């Protein structure tokens, strides 16, 4: 404003000098004629308007910078320019004043708006309705490098023949429904809606399908966005629903991951990931309870001389391993790496390493546990059914040799996938339970793996059959008190073996069905919604692990803690701890009293 005021003063001074008048401050002092003063003051506002706006009022052309093929005018305080682009010789010569507010390109019969007219950083923020006149022949429009945020109005009616629009550099603009209503629109270029999908070209899907190179074209359909009503996919889904294929989905792995894969994986796997947190609790309970069983069974002299309790202690060691497996699978389940993929740049290597550790623990513990259960069953069977024949027994030394051999065989087999013998490996997708063949198809498994699984099931079947015979034998024959005590222990062991069988066979069957009959299970579950798919994954991945972990927590309560002799030893051990604590307190009490007395004596002496 100060600049304009200074210009006004200069104009007044110049006029005063021309009229031989003196100008002092803010008025004229006429020297000769009053008539001249009146004329000057009549035309003075016109000079001032010309100075401020750059032109005369009305529809006259003004601005010395207005191109020859444009009519620049100032109407109702609005700077306007109407241009006849057919007379333009070079696009570089198209230079309009910076304060232009309205540009009229009507009656140009345009097929393409030259790039110098609307782009090149003109800072167009909003294209209002009526900005473009009806241009029925316009095919291409370039709006590159503006700050475009919104394009309002009926574009289909204004630009009915529009085929290509260029929006490169307009990072805040997202095409709305009115642009897609243009029936002849073929291509939208330079759309950016996130960092991974920048300067994307949208191509009309119908044109791609009907083209001769449709097999090579990037055709994106809504079928690729499965369960789109339940999953919040990226903004590219809006383009696809409106009949346009984002080319960047075929050109950028990061773009297709952010738009399709990540929303799908996060929505599907977040709930199973949260459910696996329960494994922390079950694993901790299993470790604590079975540590008690192991210490009592192996620590008490009266129990460790019994073959049955040695075998029970060995089973508790296996359940401790299963508790460790439960904690590890809670932390390093495959769902953790899917949901938090950004935190694990080398996810495949990470999964395989930890899955190998968990697979070794699981396989070793299961083989030893099932085999030890069979040994415990055989020991009870011989001591009850053949009670009159003391020579037929499973001795302690024989049981220890068998247990040692079982541990060695189990560890050797579980380590085969570590060294990839026969192409074996542990799969994170199957919760690292069984070794599978390391091939392109995850449905491949080894014959050795199936044989071991079948052998463990056979061990359980034999154990159940032997216990059934034991119960029939006890019912028919009259037994002494000692034999009845052995029968009581056999009953507890049988309950444990039966539950082990149920909780072992169920996860194994689920895993094998998941591997070999995946398609049939999909049909059986009638998976047509995201909810049913989540249920499918929960039942076949989370539930088996929970069954096994729960069984490890249940075993001490079903067998060891129910036996009177075991409970007696626990009571004795607790009393020993209490006595030890009391003796330690009594030993420290005289020292504390002596120290207090000495302090008192020293204080008295000082006083």
pLDDT tens, residue by residue, 562-591? 888 898 989 888 888 888 777 776 666 555
Mean pLDDT across 453-463: 89
**Spatial CB neighbours of 60, under 8 Å, sequence gap ≥ 6:** 73
Which pLDDT does position 286 carry in this prediction?
A: 96
Percentage of the chain lying above the pLDDT 90 cut: 31
DSSP character at residue 257: I
Q: Name the band, by pLDDT with cuts 50, 70 and 90, for residue 511.
A: confident
Burial 94-127 (b: 16+ CB within 10 A, else e): bebeeebeebebeebebeebbbbbbbeebebeeb
Q: Which helix (H) or strand (E) holds 21?
A: none
Q: Is 197 helix (H, G, I), strand (E, B) or coil?
A: strand
Q: Which domains does the chain have, with CATH numbers?
A: 62-259 (3.80.10), 268-582 (1.20.1070.10)
Mean pLDDT across 165-174: 88
Query: Is residue 271's pLDDT more than 80?
Result: yes
Query: Is residue 377's pLDDT more than 70?
Result: yes
User: First-to-last CA distance in the chain?
Assistant: 92
Which pLDDT does position 15 carry in this prediction?
A: 42
Per the CB < 8 A criterion, the answer to whether 51 and 8 are in contact is yes
Q: Which helix (H) or strand (E) holds 187?
A: strand 187-191
Count CB neighbours of 153 within 10 A.
15
Directed axis angle between helix 347-385 and helix 447-476, to 10°? 30
Which tokens hold the place of 167? 């929006």
Which pLDDT does position 233 carry in this prediction?
A: 95
Q: What is the pLDDT of residues 224-240, one digit of tens each?
A: 999 999 999 999 999 99
DSSP character at residue 153: S
Cα three-residue angle 93-97-99, rounded to 5 degrees: 150
- CB burial of residue 404 (10 Å; 0-12, 13-18, 19+): exposed
Q: Which helix (H) or strand (E) holds 412?
A: helix 396-414
Count CB neighbours of 148 within 10 A.
22
Query: Is residue 457's pLDDT more than 60?
Result: yes
CA distance 239 to 229: 16
CA distance 359 to 448: 15
Residue 187: phi and psi, rounded to 5, are: -150, 135
Helix-then-strand count for the chain, H and E: 22, 14
Per the CB < 8 A criterion, the answer to whether 536 and 522 are in contact is yes
| Strands 187-191 and 200-204, sheet pairing | antiparallel
DSSP character at residue 112: B
Q: Which residue shows structure tokens 């020859």? A: 68
**Spatial CB neighbours of 262, under 8 Å, sequence gap ≥ 6:** 341
Which pLDDT does position 129 carry in this prediction?
A: 81
Query: Is residue 135's pLDDT more than 80?
Result: no
Q: Is 63 left (phi over 0), alpha (psi -120 to 50) or beta?
A: left
Long-range Cβ contact pairs of 160-168 (< 8 A, separation 24 or more)? 160/136, 160/184, 161/136, 161/137, 162/138, 163/139, 163/187, 164/139, 164/140, 164/188, 164/189, 165/140, 165/141, 165/189, 166/119, 166/140, 166/141, 166/142, 166/190, 167/143, 167/191, 168/144, 168/199
Query: Is residue 213's pLDDT more than 70?
Result: no
**Spatial CB neighbours of 431, under 8 Å, sequence gap ≥ 6:** 329, 333, 334, 511, 541, 544, 545
Q: Is 414 helix (H, G, I), strand (E, B) or coil?
A: helix
**Sequential DSSP letters for 475-544:** HHS---HHHHHHHHHHHHHHHHHHHHHHHHHHHHHHHHHHHH-HHHHHHHHT--SHHHHHHHHIIIIIHH
More confident residue, 459 or 511: 459
Q: How many CA atoms within 13 Å lie on the side-chain side of 506?
A: 19
More confident residue, 58 or 107: 107
């Amino acid at each position: 404003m100060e600049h304009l005021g200074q210009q006004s003063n200069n104009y007044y001074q110049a006029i005063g000098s021309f009229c031989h008048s003196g100008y002092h401050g803010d008025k004229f002092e006429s020297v000769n004629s009053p008539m001249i003063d009146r004329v000057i003051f009549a035309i003075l506002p016109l000079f001032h308007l010309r100075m401020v706006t750059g032109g005369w009022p009305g529809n006259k052309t003004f601005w010395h910078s207005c191109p020859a093929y444009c009519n620049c005018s100032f109407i109702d305080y609005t700077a306007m320019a109407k241009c006849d682009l057919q007379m333009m010789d070079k696009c570089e010569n198209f230079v309009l004043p910076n304060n232009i507010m309205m540009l009229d390109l009507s009656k140009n019969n345009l097929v393409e708006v030259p790039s110098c007219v609307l782009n090149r950083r003109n800072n167009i923020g909003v294209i209002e309705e009526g900005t473009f006149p009806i241009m029925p022949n316009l095919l291409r429009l370039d709006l590159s490098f503006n700050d475009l945020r919104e394009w309002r109005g009926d574009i289909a009616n204004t630009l009915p023949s529009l085929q290509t629009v260029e929006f490169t550099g307009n990072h805040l603009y997202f095409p709305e429904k009115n642009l897609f209503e243009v029936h002849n629109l073929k291509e939208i270029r330079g759309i950016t809606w996130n960092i991974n999908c920048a300067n994307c070209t949208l191509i009309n899907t119908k044109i791609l399908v009907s083209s001769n190179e449709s097999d090579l074209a990037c055709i994106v359909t809504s079928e690729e966005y499965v369960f789109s009503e339940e999953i919040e996919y990226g903004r590219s889904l809006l383009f696809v629903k409106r009949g346009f294929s984002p080319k960047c989905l075929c050109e950028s792995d990061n773009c297709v991951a952010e738009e399709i894969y990540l929303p799908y994986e996060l929505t599907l796997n977040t709930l199973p990931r949260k459910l696996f947190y329960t494994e922390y609790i079950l694993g901790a309970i299993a470790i604590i309870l079975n540590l008690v069983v192991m210490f009592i069974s192996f620590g008490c002299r009266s129990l460790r001389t019994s073959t049955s309790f040695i075998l029970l202690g060995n089973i508790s060691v296996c359940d401790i391993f299963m508790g460790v497996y439960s904690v590890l699978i809670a932390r390093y389940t495959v769902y953790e790496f899917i949901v938090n993929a950004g935190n694990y740049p080398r996810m495949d290597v990470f999964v395989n390493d930890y899955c190998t550790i968990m697979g070794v623990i699981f396989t070793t513990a299961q083989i030893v546990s099932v085999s030890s259960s069979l040994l415990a069953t055989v020991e009870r069977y011989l001591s009850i059914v053949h009670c009159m024949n003391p020579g037929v027994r499973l001795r302690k030394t024989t049981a220890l040799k068998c247990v040692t051999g079982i541990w060695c065989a189990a560890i050797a087999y579980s380590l085969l996938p570590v060294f990839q013998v026969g192409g074996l490996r542990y799969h994170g997708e199957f919760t690292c339970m069984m070794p599978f063949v390391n091939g392109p198809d995850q449905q491949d498994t080894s014959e050795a793996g199936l044989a071991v699984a079948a052998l463990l099931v056979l061990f359980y079947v034999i154990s159940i059959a032997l216990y059934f015979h034991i119960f029939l034998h006890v019912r028919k024959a009259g037994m002494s008190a000692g034999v009845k005590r052995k029968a009581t222990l056999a009953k507890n062991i049988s309950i444990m073996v039966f539950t082990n069988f149920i909780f072992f066979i169920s996860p194994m069957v689920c895993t094998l069905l998941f591997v070999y009959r995946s398609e049939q299970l999909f049909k059986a579950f009638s998976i047509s919604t995201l909810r049913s798919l989540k249920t499918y994954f929960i039942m076949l991945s989370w539930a088996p692990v929970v069954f096994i972990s729960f069984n490890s927590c249940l075993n001490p309560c079903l067998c060891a803690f129910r036996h009177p002799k075991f409970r007696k030893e626990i009571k004795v051990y607790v009393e020993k701890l209490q006595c030890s604590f009391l003796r330690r307190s009594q030993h420290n009490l005289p020292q504390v009293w002596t120290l207090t007395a000495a302090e008192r004596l020293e204080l008295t002496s000082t006083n």
